[in-house]
């Protein structure tokens, strides 16, 4: 492993702004592709040139059983005044790399690249793949492009390098985003009895939906469903009865729950409360929950590698957040685990950072996992 090479790559990736929205992965992809080309590693691109998805292979375009994957976009840096370092400087201090995307997930991407370089130098017969996607943060459309392309046909296993502090996760909760739209009747604020208050309607409907217990299957991997009221807005002026109001709900789904089933249950709540004539539920976005059996080959090998190299016994739970696994697993059939350097507590935060030592451990873990698949040659 060449730590200096890996850190320089991570710093350069952090320095290239790829905030999503609006989605600026093109320059990151260009740099990463050129960097890997200089290391003798081939690349194929899928999707639009402005938001490409890159598939690297240690064996000149050949595919194998295992793909390591991560994304090139980041969330916006937010208020720069809250950062102690320039979010695009890639500053290093006290063994940490700082910047937007340091742990989510340009630092992890650099560890994947270093893994492929080291693996290629070991001259194995079995190809090792690395996928770098666009638009993971805003809907996983890059992974959708990859799935449609068929470029990963025949690949059986995947390691998603999202930050888990190198704990092995065996799935992720599903996601359902909905908009609750209430339509009232405008009137002068001094005569509210002549109008129908949309904010009141929306508050009543939203409260009922938040209080509802949605059916699920008990599961020690996924845990319990969560619901968050993220947005509520309506009205135009203090002295006007509001005619429109909306709220946005973020639901994280667990075992036994489907998007269709939860949407149906939500509608039933409104029907039972006789709110359906003025309140409707609009689907925004959703992804299914995914889970990998704990006794699958990729789980057993990843857990073994992490324990032997880092000394960490993984709890093998599910991620509460979404990843590209929600597309690659159900739509291609790739059996995934999630395991990467950095803490998810740093993701999307000011002063985001990743420990350099953990990046080094990650390369050792990924190489060990890959070598276990080589033993089957």
Going across the sheet that includes 157-160, the strands are 42-46, 53-57, 129-133, 66-71, 157-160, 335-338
User: Under a CB-based contact definition with an 8 Å cutoff, are residues 374 and 124 in contact?
Assistant: yes
Catalytic residue among 19, 25, 65, 73: 73
93 is catalytic: no
DSSP annotation of 81: G
Please calculate the CA angle 129-49-114 and round it to the nearest 5 degrees: 30
Transcribe 185-208 into DSSP letters.
B-EETT-GGGSB-HHHHHHHHHHH
DSSP annotation of 19: B
How many angstroms separate the CA atoms of 241 and 195, rounded?
6
How many angstroms separate the CA atoms of 263 and 211, rounded?
15
Catalytic residue among 136, 162, 172, 364: 136
Transcribe 318-329 into DSSP letters.
-BSS--THHHHH
| Pairing of the two strands 335-338 and 157-160 | parallel
Cβ neighbors of 260 (< 8 A, separation 6 or more) are: none
How many angstroms separate the CA atoms of 101 and 86, rounded?
12
162 is catalytic: no
Give catalytic residue positions: 73, 136
């Amino acid at each position: 492993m060449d730590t200096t090479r890996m850190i320089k790559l991570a710093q350069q990736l952090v320095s290239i702004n790829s905030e999503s929205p609006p989605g600026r992965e093109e320059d990151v992809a260009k740099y990463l592709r050129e960097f890997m080309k200089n290391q003798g590693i081939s690349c194929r691109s899928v999707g639009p040139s402005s938001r490409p998805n890159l598939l690297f292979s240690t064996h000149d375009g050949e595919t194998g059983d295992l793909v390591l994957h991560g994304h090139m976009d980041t969330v916006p840096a937010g208020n720069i005044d809250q950062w102690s370092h320039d979010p695009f400087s890639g500053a290093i201090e006290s063994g940490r790399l700082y910047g937007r995307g340091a742990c989510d997930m340009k630092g992890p991407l650099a560890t994947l690249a270093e893994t492929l370089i080291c693996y290629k130098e070991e001259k194995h017969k079995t190809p090792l793949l690395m996928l770098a996607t666009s638009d993971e943060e805003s809907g996983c459309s890059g992974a959708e492009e990859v799935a449609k392309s068929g470029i990963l046909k025949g690949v059986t296993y995947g390691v998603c390098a999202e930050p888990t502090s190198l704990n092995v996760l065996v799935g992720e909760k599903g996601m359902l985003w909905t908009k609750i739209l209430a339509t009232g009747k405008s009137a002068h604020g001094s005569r509210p009895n002549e109008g129908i208050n949309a904010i009141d309607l929306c508050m009543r409907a939203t409260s009922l939906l938040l209080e509802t217990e949605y059916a699920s299957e008990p599961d020690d991997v996924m845990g319990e469903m969560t619901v968050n009221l993220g947005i509520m807005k309506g009205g135009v002026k203090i002295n006007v009865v509001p005619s429109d109001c909306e709220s946005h709900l973020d639901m994280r789904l667990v075992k036994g729950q489907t998007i269709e089933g939860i949407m149906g249950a939500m509608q039933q709540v409104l029907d039972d409360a006789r709110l359906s004539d003025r309140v409707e539920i609009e689907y925004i976005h959703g992804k299914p929950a995914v889970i990998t059996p704990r006794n699958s080959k990729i789980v057993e090998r990843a857990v073994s590698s992490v324990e032997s190299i880092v000394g960490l016994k993984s709890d093998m739970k599910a991620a509460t957040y979404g990843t590209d696994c929600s597309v690659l697993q159900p739509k291609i059939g790739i059996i995934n685990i999630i395991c990467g350097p950095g803490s998810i507590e740093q993701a999307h935060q000011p002063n985001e950072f990743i420990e350099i030592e953990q990046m080094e451990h990650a390369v050792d873990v990924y190489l060990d996992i890959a070598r276990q698949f080589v033993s089957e040659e």
